[in-house]
């Protein structure tokens, strides 16, 4: 700014009596001097440093800036004796008014700063009016204008901050008598205004960029967390699939061994028992060979019982001591007790003996379909129907959950394994689903094992 003198008199601290013997109000005389540079530099610092702190710490340094400048002006005025005794009271009242006006807005409505135009325009206008009133009493209070420059960017939103800077400059400039204006002083004032505007705009741009970066970092952090969660879910699903594949392989191998034992060893032992029984009937009761035949027959029966126990031990747990309908009912009850899903089981047709491999495939398919209804479809209700036909066994599992595209089946549904199991027995599987709610899985398996294995396992 310029080098300020007293209004109505010569430059410097001298006073000239006004009309009626009173001292006239102070006036600023513009004159370039060595003192102008520090004041211009202080304008830039007053905009940059407090604005930076104010933007990052609302209610902190920027809130104290006008009060700090006001306190400094009061100290300077006291030490310089720049006030007449009759002006002291007005100055004290005006200083208290500035503190109350600014402090009231900061404490009562801190969230309005730079967001609400009309209330903040009222606040800033009041601050300028009080600053101008104090400047009329003493040129020392012209320093309050320096606080008004950054407060324009702190209080007024958007481009209105530049209007506040212009109003501050106009009030400080046009408050001077016309004769005290100089070209150098006007150029310095306009340069300071331009510098303040550029600095304020740059700081706001940096704040906007910083806000965008914080938002981008927050989005990246959220995306990273979601990715980590998805990776963890995929890892858990992969581990579960590995376990399921291992268990499925073990069960398939056990079923194959059970079928092999049944088709070879058990069938052969059953034939040996039949032959020995027929041979025993041909011997006389007192024939010594009959005892050996009966001993051989008993040994063959024991071996056959052991073979049957081995076959039963290799079957799925529920099927060891129960038929397919009973095992399916047990599995459905267990699922309903461990999941928040209502399951209804219906059995149609005449219940008849079913081959062990068919029982296992049907039971495993039901378990996989129920698991998918909970894990993927998030169903609330499931209907399970087991139907017996002359040469086939059918299983229908219908849920009311989220549908999917059957042509885009993923490994996570376990349907590929289910299809392989069914096709190994010459059966078929169909899936009726879409993006609309509801999925129905139908499994139809011939009630004969591959290669003509009999329907029922010897008991």
| pLDDT tens digit sequence for 337-366 | 988 889 999 999 999 888 877 888 899 899
Confidence of residue 81 (pLDDT cuts 50, 70, 90): low
Q: What is the mean pLDDT of residues 124-139?
A: 76
The pLDDT of residue 396 is: 95
Per the structure, the count of domains in the chain is 2
Q: Write the pLDDT tens digit of every residue in 148-207.
A: 777 777 777 777 878 777 777 777 766 555 555 566 666 776 777 777 777 777 777 777
Instruction: Classify residue 177: in a domain, yes or no.
Output: yes
- The CATH code of the domain that includes 399 is 3.30.565.10
For residues 260 and 167, give the distance between their C-alpha atoms in angstroms, rounded to a whole number.
100
| Residue of higher predicted confidence among 443 and 246 | 443
The pLDDT of residue 151 is: 76
What the block records as the tokens of 444 is: 């139809």
| Residue of higher predicted confidence among 71 and 33 | 71
Minimum mean pLDDT range among 38-42, 71-75, 431-435 = 38-42
Q: How far apart are the first and last CA of the chain?
A: 110
Please answer whether residues 433 and 403 qualify as being in contact, where contact means their C-beta atoms are separated by less than 8 angstroms. Answer: yes
For residues 211 and 219, give the distance between their C-alpha atoms in angstroms, rounded to a whole number.
12
Task: Verify that 177 and 325 share a domain, yes or no.
Answer: no
Residues in the chain: 459
Q: Write the pLDDT tens digit of every residue in 30-56.
A: 333 333 333 344 434 444 444 444 443
Residue 262 DSSP one-character state: I
For residues 375 and 447, give the distance between their C-alpha atoms in angstroms, rounded to a whole number.
30
- For all residues of the chain together, what is the average pLDDT? 73
Is residue 17 scored above 60 in pLDDT?
no
Instruction: Classify residue 279: in a domain, yes or no.
Output: no
Beta-bridge partners for 432: 440
Contacts (Cβ under 8 Å, ≥6 apart) of 190 = 169
Confidence of residue 27 (pLDDT cuts 50, 70, 90): very low
Is residue 387 scored above 90 in pLDDT?
yes
% pLDDT > 70, the chain: 71
> φ and ψ at 389, to 5 degrees?
-120, 180
Confidence of residue 258 (pLDDT cuts 50, 70, 90): confident
Please answer whether residues 440 and 396 qualify as being in contact, where contact means their C-beta atoms are separated by less than 8 angstroms. Answer: yes
Is residue 218 scored above 80 in pLDDT?
yes
Domain end call among 147, 181, 215? 181
Domain end call among 163, 181, 199? 181
What the block records as the tokens of 296 is: 């051989």
Burial code (b: 16+ CB inside 10 Å, e: under 16) for 85-107 equals: eebeeebeebbeebeebbeebbe
Please answer whether residues 86 and 43 qualify as being in contact, where contact means their C-beta atoms are separated by less than 8 angstroms. Answer: no
The pLDDT of residue 316 is: 63
Minimum mean pLDDT range among 268-277, 308-317, 445-454 = 445-454
% pLDDT > 90, the chain: 12
How far apart, in Å, are the Cα atoms of 431 and each of 329, 398, 421, 434? 23, 10, 15, 10
Is residue 321 scored above 60 in pLDDT?
yes
What the block records as the tokens of 300 is: 């063959």
Instruction: Classify residue 270: in a domain, yes or no.
Output: no
Domain end call among 128, 153, 181? 181
For residues 209 and 278, give the distance between their C-alpha atoms in angstroms, rounded to a whole number.
99
Is residue 96 scored above 90 in pLDDT?
no
Please answer whether residues 447 and 358 qualify as being in contact, where contact means their C-beta atoms are separated by less than 8 angstroms. Answer: yes
Instruction: Classify residue 356: in a domain, yes or no.
Output: yes
What the block records as the tokens of 54 is: 């104010």
Is residue 450 scored above 60 in pLDDT?
no
For residues 95 and 73, give the distance between their C-alpha atoms in angstroms, rounded to a whole number.
10
For residues 117 and 108, give the distance between their C-alpha atoms in angstroms, rounded to a whole number.
16
Instruction: Classify residue 376: in a domain, yes or no.
Output: yes
Please answer whether residues 73 and 91 qualify as being in contact, where contact means their C-beta atoms are separated by less than 8 angstroms. Answer: no
Is residue 317 scored above 70 in pLDDT?
no
Residue 362 DSSP one-character state: H
The pLDDT of residue 315 is: 62
> φ and ψ at 377, to 5 degrees?
-80, -20
Instruction: Classify residue 394: in a domain, yes or no.
Output: yes
> φ and ψ at 445, to 5 degrees?
-125, 135
The pLDDT of residue 36 is: 37
- Smallest Cα–Cα separation from 170: which of 140, 128, 133? 128
Minimum mean pLDDT range among 76-85, 129-138, 378-387 = 76-85
Instruction: Classify residue 186: in a domain, yes or no.
Output: no
Minimum mean pLDDT range among 98-112, 266-280, 347-361 = 98-112
Q: Structural domain of residue 369, as residue ranges?
A: 317-459
Is residue 332 scored above 60 in pLDDT?
yes
Is residue 313 scored above 70 in pLDDT?
no
Is residue 117 scored above 90 in pLDDT?
no
E strands in 193-349: 342-348
The pLDDT of residue 92 is: 78
Please answer whether residues 388 and 438 qualify as being in contact, where contact means their C-beta atoms are separated by less than 8 angstroms. Answer: no
The tokens 């009999």 sit on which residue? 454
| CA angle at 41 for the pair 139 and 187, rounded to the nearest 5° | 75
**Cα torsion angle, 76, 80, 84, 85, sign:** positive
For residues 379 and 441, give the distance between their C-alpha atoms in angstroms, rounded to a whole number.
14
Instruction: Classify residue 342: in a domain, yes or no.
Output: yes
Task: Verify that 322 and 173 share a domain, yes or no.
Answer: no
């Amino acid at each position: 700014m310029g080098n300020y003198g007293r209004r109505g008199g010569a430059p410097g601290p001298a006073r000239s009596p006004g009309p009626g013997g009173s001292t006239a109000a102070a006036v600023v005389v513009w004159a370039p001097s060595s003192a102008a540079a520090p004041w211009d530099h202080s304008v830039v610092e007053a905009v940059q440093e407090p604005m930076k702190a104010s933007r990052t710490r609302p209610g902190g340094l920027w809130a104290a800036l006008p009060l700090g400048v006001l306190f400094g002006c009061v100290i300077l005025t006291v030490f310089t004796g720049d006030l007449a005794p009759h002006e002291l009271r007005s100055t004290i009242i005006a200083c208290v008014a500035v503190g109350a006006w600014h402090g009231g807005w900061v404490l009562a409505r801190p969230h309005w700063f730079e967001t609400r135009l009309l209330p903040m325009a009222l606040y800033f206008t009041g601050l300028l009016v009080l600053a101008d009133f104090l400047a009329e009493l003493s040129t020392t209070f012209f320093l309050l204008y320096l606080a008004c420059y950054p407060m324009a960017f702190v209080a007024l939103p958007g481009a209105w901050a530049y209007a506040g800077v212009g109003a501050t400059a106009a009030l400080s400039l046009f408050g001077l008598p016309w004769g005290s204006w100089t070209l150098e002083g006007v150029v310095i004032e306009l340069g300071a205004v331009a510098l303040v505007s550029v600095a304020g705009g740059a700081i706001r741009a940096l704040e906007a960029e910083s806000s965008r970066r914080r938002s981008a970092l927050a989005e990246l952090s959220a995306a990273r967390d979601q990715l980590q969660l998805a990776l963890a879910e995929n890892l858990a699903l992969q581990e579960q699939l590995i376990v399921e594949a291992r268990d499925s392989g073990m069960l398939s191998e056990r079923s194959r061994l059970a079928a092999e034992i049944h088709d070879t060893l058990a069938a052969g032992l059953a034939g040996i028992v039949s032959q020995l029984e027929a041979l025993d009937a041909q011997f006389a009761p007192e024939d010594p060979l009959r005892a050996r035949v009966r001993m051989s027959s008993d040994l063959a029966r024991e071996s056959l019982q052991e073979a049957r126990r081995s076959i039963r031990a290799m079957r799925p747990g529920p099927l060891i001591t129960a038929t397919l309908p009973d095992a399916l009912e047990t599995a459905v009850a267990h699922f309903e007790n461990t999941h928040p899903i209502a399951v209804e089981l219906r059995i149609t047709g005449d219940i008849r003996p079913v081959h062990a491999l068919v029982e296992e495939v049907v039971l495993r398919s039901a378990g996989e379909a129920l698991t998918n209804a909970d894990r993927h479809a998030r169903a609330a209700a499931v209907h399970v129907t087991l139907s017996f036909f002359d040469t086939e066994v059918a299983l229908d599992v219908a849920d009311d959950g989220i549908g999917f595209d059957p042509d885009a089946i993923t490994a996570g549904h376990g349907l590929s394994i289910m299809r392989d199991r069914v096709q190994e027995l010459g059966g078929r599987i169909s899936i009726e689903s879409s993006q609309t709610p509801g999925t129905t899985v139908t499994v139809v398996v011939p009630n004969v094992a591959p290669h003509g294995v009999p329907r029922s396992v010897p008991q």
